[in-house]
Amino acid sequence: MNPVTHAARLGLSRGWIEFRQQITSPQDLGFTVFSTVAVVVVIWFQREATLPGTSYSLAAATLPGVLGLAIPFNAMFGAVGSLAVEREDGTLLRAKALPQGMVGYLVGRVVALSLTTVCSMLTIVVAGILLLPALAGVGPGGWLAVAGLTVLGLLFSLPLGAIVGAMASNPQTAAGLALITTGGLVAVSGVFYPIIALAGWLQTVAQIFPIYWLGLGMRAAMLPDAAAVAEIGGSWRPVESVLVLAAWAAAALVAAPPILRRMARRESGSMMEARRRRAMQRIG
């Protein structure tokens, strides 16, 4: 068997095992429950509000945006955290020492994070439908569009998370950088409230980045056409959404491999030991 194919198969198996461990971990389940409850609370407080210019529920419009947010939040933060931590604890160095070990490592990480992200989204969807029966009317075409957007979201989120994790000097720096960047983008991306309520220059900034377009695409897939009146130009702009997300995915997929290869080449026992000492100093 081809060594790369064999390593990829091992990575698939590893990713599935890690996913099963995560869904049976009390800590990970606790985070899923907490995030779902947070979504329910937001929707509950918005239940009486309507989209500007429509009679459609603001809570129902928020849920698709939250789904769009769940993809970069779970995938990007997961990639940043795991890569930064596993550089520090030696997992990455051990993978590098094996024939095609980095292939197996990356495949396993992609599988585990993708399954975790989809599982989190399904939990939010179930909670949202129970709270907002109107969303039960989303047809097969709408759910198919949600699935396609999820794939595009993963294609840009996972590589971007890997880039940040590879470039950060320690897990704390990686997590802080990802949190500040994502938090700032979420604030102006119309996830929790229509973007047309923001200043014009903030609308322009939001449209440069993929989180806005991912949320817009999710709303287009799950909401009736009449709800588009609350969007820029009164349109869902489906073609633009797909093109922008595809462009971000392509750029991230092109940029990530050389950065990861450079990081892997630099990994050594002495660097790992230096990071371990710094980590012990932070703890001590």
Per-residue pLDDT of the chain (284 residues; tens, 9 = 90+): 677 787 788 888 888 888 888 878 777 677 777 777 887 787 788 777 777 777 777 788 888 888 888 888 888 888 887 887 777 777 777 777 777 777 788 888 889 889 988 988 888 888 888 887 777 778 889 999 999 999 999 999 998 888 888 877 676 777 777 777 777 777 778 777 778 877 888 888 888 889 899 999 999 999 888 888 888 888 899 999 999 999 999 999 899 888 887 877 776 666 666 666 665 665 55
Question: What pLDDT, on the 0 to 100 scale, is given for residue 69?
Answer: 86
Question: How far is it, in rounded angstroms, from Cα 152 to Cα 171?
Answer: 26
Number of C-beta neighbours around residue 118 at 10 A: 18
Residue 50 inside a domain? The answer is yes
Question: What pLDDT, on the 0 to 100 scale, is given for residue 129?
Answer: 81
Question: What pLDDT, on the 0 to 100 scale, is given for residue 268?
Answer: 64
Q: What b/e readout covers 253-274, taking b as 16+ CB neighbours within 10 angstroms?
A: eeebeebbeebbeebeeeebee
Question: What pLDDT, on the 0 to 100 scale, is given for residue 246?
Answer: 95
Domain that holds residue 257: 3-267
Question: What pLDDT, on the 0 to 100 scale, is given for residue 1?
Answer: 61
Which phi and psi (to 5°) does residue 50 adopt? Answer: -125, 160
What residue has token string 């971000």? 248
Residue 281 inside a domain? The answer is no
Question: How far is it, in rounded angstroms, from Cα 201 to Cα 199?
Answer: 6
Question: What pLDDT, on the 0 to 100 scale, is given for residue 282?
Answer: 57
Question: What pLDDT, on the 0 to 100 scale, is given for residue 213?
Answer: 92
Helices (H), the chain: 3-23, 26-45, 58-88, 91-97, 101-131, 140-167, 171-187, 200-208, 210-222, 238-266, 269-283
Residue 284 inside a domain? The answer is no
Answer whether 189's CB lies under 8 Å from 207's CB: no
Burial of 210: CB neighbours in 10 Å, binned 0-12, 13-18, 19+: buried
Question: How far is it, in rounded angstroms, from Cα 18 to Cα 133?
Answer: 34
Residue 151 tokens read as 């794939």
Question: How far is it, in rounded angstroms, from Cα 103 to Cα 14?
Answer: 12
Residue 29 inside a domain? The answer is yes
pTM of the predicted structure, to 2 decimals:
0.86
Question: What pLDDT, on the 0 to 100 scale, is given for residue 143?
Answer: 92
Question: How far is it, in rounded angstroms, from Cα 43 to Cα 148?
Answer: 25
Residue 279 inside a domain? The answer is no
Residue 246 inside a domain? The answer is yes
Torsion of CA 176, 182, 184, 188, to 10 degrees: -170
Residue 123 inside a domain? The answer is yes
Query: Domains in the chain: how many in total?
Result: 1
Residue 240 inside a domain? The answer is yes
